[in-house]
């Protein structure tokens, strides 16, 4: 649900677009990805029950940056913050409002030899629909 507008917001930001170059994925990173890359998890973003039947949703979105270079991870987090912190707007048929991202604990995967760290955002939104008559 949130993937399409999230992708659009990040790639509309010149620094994020240059750094990630379309390497923004849902749920897991492909095994053969180039770095740095970002992966978002929206399992906690749920539809809201509203009276006027709008497609509204709310919850916590996590965006993780991964790279063999810790500095690239930090650069990635910085450009995501630039694009999303306190974002309010309409993009690709969605109205979205992000809070300020909370930084989660950094880690290192010995198997893949990559550093990773995530930001967690409270997000509220609605998918706009067009009515044809």
Q: How many CB atoms lie within 10 A of CB 25?
A: 18
Residue 132 counted as domain residue: no
Q: Domains in the chain: how many in total?
A: 1
**3-class DSSP assignment, residue 104:** coil
**pLDDT, tens digit, for every residue of 85-113?**
999 999 888 889 999 999 999 999 999 89
pLDDT of 5 > 80? The answer is yes
Tell me which of 37-46, 57-66, 113-122 is least confident. 37-46
Tell me the average pLDDT across 26-40. 91
pLDDT of 52 > 90? The answer is no
Answer with the residue of higher pLDDT: 42 or 52. Answer: 42
Q: Which residues pair with 59 in a beta bridge?
A: 123
Residue 133 counted as domain residue: no
Supply the range of the domain harboring residue 88.
3-127
Q: How many CB atoms lie within 10 A of CB 56?
A: 16
**HSE-CB of 87 using CA atoms within 13 angstroms:** 26
Size of the chain in residues: 133
E strand or H helix at 89: strand 88-91
Tell me the average pLDDT across 20-32. 90
Residue 18 counted as domain residue: yes
CATH code, domain carrying 93:
3.30.2000.20
E strand or H helix at 18: helix 14-20
Residue 68 counted as domain residue: yes
């Amino acid at each position: 649900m949130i993937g399409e507008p999230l992708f659009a917001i990040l790639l509309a930001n010149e620094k994020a677009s240059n750094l990630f170059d379309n390497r923004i994925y849902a749920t897991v990173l492909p095994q053969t990805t180039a770095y740095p890359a970002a992966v978002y998890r929206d399992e906690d973003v749920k539809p809201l029950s509203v009276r006027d039947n709008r497609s509204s949703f709310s919850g916590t979105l996590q965006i993780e940056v991964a790279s063999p270079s810790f500095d690239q991870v930090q650069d990635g987090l910085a450009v995501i913050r630039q694009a999303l912190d306190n974002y309010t707007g309409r993009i690709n048929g969605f109205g979205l409002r992000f809070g300020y991202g909370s930084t989660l604990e950094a880690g290192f995967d010995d198997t893949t030899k990559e550093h990773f760290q995530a930001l967690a955002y409270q997000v509220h939104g609605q998918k706009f629909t067009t009515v044809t008559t």
